[in-house]
Structure 1
Amino acid sequence: MNKSLCIVAVAGCMLFCWAPLSAQDGVSESAQDGASEAESVTASSTQPAEESPSAAAPEPFNLLTAKRMTGDWFGLRTDLEDIGFTFSPRLYTNYQGNFSGGENTAGAHEIPGRFDYNFELDLNKMVKLPGATFFFRLRQQWENSIVDDVGSDSEPYPTFGDNFYGDPNCIIVHKWHYRQRLFDDRLEIRLGKIDATDYIDTNEYANSSFTQFSNTFLENAPNVPGERGLGAVMTIWPTDWLYFVAMAVDPDNVDTKTGFDTAFHGPAHFVASWELGFLPAELVKDAGILPGHYRVGWWMRPGESEIFKDTLDGMLASESRWNDVGFYFNMDQVLWKENDKPDDTQGLAGFMRYSYAHGDVNRYSHFWSLGLVYQGLIPTRDNDLLALGFAQAVTSSQYRDAIDALADCESVYEMYYEIEVTPWFKIAPDIQVITNPGGRSDARDAFVGGLRVNVIF
């Protein structure tokens, strides 16, 4: 099928869904808690977004209480935001080391980093186009992670410089999209270079290896497609307590190219995903139910995938499967709050994931993770976080029988404590134990640790 026809079909499906939404009103005014400033335009699609409040009178700059290290630029930043231009640079870096086990411990430590330059254009303020924004991000990265020293399929810490061909001066357009909200924010459409993990299989407490758990197994399920490329996302909120996401993304994109060459030429390999989300606290708002999100999703990857089969060194013909599919369940839930103040998020929360993919073409047929996060455990440290997480990827029996008899589950245990030094500066030491790195029973269990630093400029 031609890729242009695929995009036309997606757009047509979106237009078909607009009509029944025109009668909806009464959008919730509550915004998602905890969405980072740098991701404000790409926040989780679990609730309609609130309109920006009127600007308050400026306060004197205080480095210890400011939300951004560079402050208001003597009023210039506020002036730019008033006309619709927001610039939010952010630095992520960490020390990471493999202290025991794995593939190698000699010199097995790195200090990689990443600089994101986030830009957002509010087209309502600029050209009177209601509900419209344009977001793009430039990214610069350096050094690599310790994943090769550990030998794991999970990345203990995000891979940085490997994506930039060893050039620390390389800056790429990481992602961009045009966003349009319609019908009192009941419908949202995004078109551009889409990161699938921003919209499906998201989680309030385990969805970013840069700001939450560092290990990628506690960021997203490894057997759920997480492509980044040209695509489209449609999100519908028929009510405050229910939403639906439909997405199509080109998986053939190359970071150093625009993506138009693969999206509009050659075979149609768009990965399609759908998610249905439920927010119990929004269904019965006066019943004292604590906030939580419950998601079920499914996906389809078109094209041909080779089936795991022992061909006896080529004596037997290989086999393949077309149109791989899978599904997942994902939830997060506040379990206990320290007080009843609506804006105070101190307390205990939990999360859980499960995902399934066909074991004849996917190394890991089952995956599950769970964990707990406590905000404000230490008195006077109200914004600090203590988190414990566990994740396990289960090797399919067909892969083990046909490809590698030593294949096994890879499991991850992680604990971190994030310290808010100032609102714009956070550090988080963490430790991890990875058993059967690489999903092999003969691998040495690894003990790794690190120190993460986040700075909002």
Structure 2
Amino acid sequence: ILAFGVCAAPGRAYDVNDSFSVSGIAVAGLQCQDLDTGGPDSCKDGHPFQVEIAINDAGRHTVFAKLGFAAENGLGPVSPFALSPWAADLHDDLRDINGRGRDHLLTAWYRHRRVLPGGTSIAVTLGLIDATDYLDDNAFANDEYTQFMNEAFVNAPTAFLPSYDWGGVFEVEHGPWALRLVQMRVGENDDGAGYSFTGGQLSYTRQTRLGEGTYRVIVAGTSDDFLDPRGARRRSLAQLTLSADQELGETLGAFLRLGWQDDDAAVTHAALYSGGLTLKGGAWGRPGDGIGIGYAQLDGGNSGVSRSHVGEVYYRAAFGEHWALTGDVQFVKDDRAGGAGRKGRIYSLRATKEF
């Protein structure tokens, strides 16, 4: 028997004037795991709150900062699965970020953008950045607060994209093509070592009679600062990800994400194959609502998981422009070496208030 209780804090962007805006999101969620194997059933809540502040000078100069706060940690500490059931920034994620001794301040950067003759746009960003803001974006599977919750559908788990640390971004856009290059220095990985990250994404956006679609190739690598499976030597990480989203008419959309990483270092998963569909509520007279259906299979790496399966379905009901309530069900299975696998379902309610 599962019981849900959820609330959302009061609070889309508030434009103070033409160049200064404040926006954010407050979320309250409850997740309950119903396990066939792998541990006891449990219900846990999480309450993230994020605020974004932007100063924009006619699109050429932008100063931006994002702050994150949260109460509770959701199912993360008690989940037996290899993938997080909610890829949100929760309480412990916002303390001593990347071993830097910094709490709550997620990003703070300056961007200069220039449009060249011929329409080519060039931008340079420096500061505290989040690689997921620039790499592996997807229109239908990229937001843990308003779309899918499981990390398999937010960003490729095989892509090891770092967040909230010092770095720079170089962007070029020309017609349907866009190139993004990201360089970061991260304070600490799971092995306690600092490391360098380099990544790039080339994307192509096309408008067809079905609608808009964007197709991306992402490559990335790190310095030799990750322990191998035996913990004896430090190795680098390297990955390739293919990501696409395509509108299929006015109300239907599809997404696909494929990823591979090498396994010289200790990695949980070596390959990702995921995809799904989204349906807008305009199909039944509620244009703010939406349905998402996704499935992901991940081949194991060298850390004990041989294969993971994740299926997720959600319905998001909008109430006005700012409020929404989402019901979500995940079906998760981890196959492990020796047959000691994990299998179960995760039921979630998530309320959001955007401002």
Category of TM-score, reference length = shorter chain: 0.7 to 0.9
Alignment of 1:87-98 (within 5 A): 87-98=22-33
Bigger radius of gyration: 1
Query: 219, 240, 250: which is aligned to 2:175?
Result: 240
What letter corresponds to residue 330 of structure 1 in structure 2? Answer: S
Letter in 2 for 1:122: N
1:113-137 residue CA offsets vs partner (Å, 9 max, x unmatched): 011121111234xxxxx61111101
Aligned 1:127-138 pairs, distance under 5 A: 131-138=60-67
Alpha-carbon deviations, 1:335-367, whole Å to 9, x = none? 222xxxxxxxxx111011111111232331111
Q: CA deviation at 1:439?
A: 8.2
Does residue 104 of structure 2 align to residue 172 of structure 1?
Answer: yes
Gaps of 5+ in 2: 1-9, 97-101
Output the CA distance in 2 between the equivalents of 1:354 and 1:218: 11
TM-score by length of 1: 0.67
Q: 1:360 aligns with which of 261, 264, 277?
A: 264
1:347-386, aligned counterparts within 5 Å? 347-361=251-265, 362-376=267-281, 378-386=283-291
Q: Name the SS for the 1:277 alignment partner.
A: strand
Q: CA RMSD in A?
A: 2.8
Q: Which residue of 1 aligns with 2:49?
A: 115
Task: Give the 3 Å change call, closer, same or farther, for CA 412–439 of structure 1 in structure 2.
Answer: farther
Runs of 5+ unmatched residues, structure 1: 1-68, 125-129, 255-266, 282-286, 312-317, 338-346
SS of structure 1 residue aligned to 2:92: helix
**What's the CA shift string for 1:257-303, capped at 9, x where partnerless?**
xxxxxxxxxx983200011101122xxxxx63520000011111012
Kept in 1, the 8 Å contact 2:195–2:225? The answer is no
* 1:81 equivalenced with 2:17 (yes/no): yes
C-alpha separation between the residues in 2 aligned to 1:194 and 1:209? 18
Amino acid in the other structure paired with 2:211: L
C-alpha spacing 1:426/1:171, structure 2 compared with 1 (3 Å): farther
Assess if the C-alpha contact under 8 Å between 2:327 and 2:350 holds in 1: yes
More strand by share: 2
Query: Is the Cα contact below 8 Å between 2:197 and 2:221 reproduced in 1?
Result: yes
The 8 Å contact of residues 152 and 437 in structure 1, kept in 2 or not, is answered as no
Question: Is residue 52 of structure 2 the alignment partner of residue 139 of structure 1?
Answer: no
Match of 2:197 in 1: 271
Q: 1:70 to 1:297 in 2, by over 3 A?
A: closer
Of 146, 159, 182, the residue aligned with 2:114 is: 182
Matched, 1:308 2:242: no
| In structure 1, distance between residues paired with 2:89 and 2:335 | 17
> Any idea what SS the aligned residue of 1:147 has?
coil
Structure 1 residue 444 corresponds to structure 2 residue 321: no
Percent sequence identity is 20
1:187-226 alignment to 2 at 5 Å? 187-226=122-161
What is the distance in 1 between the residues matched to 2:224 and 2:334?
31
- Matched with 2:3 is none
Distance 2:262 2:37 in 1: 28
TM-score after normalising by structure 2: 0.85
Q: Relative to structure 1, is the Cα distance of residues 71 and 429 closer, same or farther in structure 2, using a 3 angstrom cutoff?
A: closer
- The answer (yes or no) to whether the contact 1:151–1:438 under 8 Å persists in 2 is no
Greater share of helix residues, 1 or 2? 1
Q: Distance in 2 between matches of 1:278 and 1:104?
A: 44
Change (3 A) 1:189 1:199: same
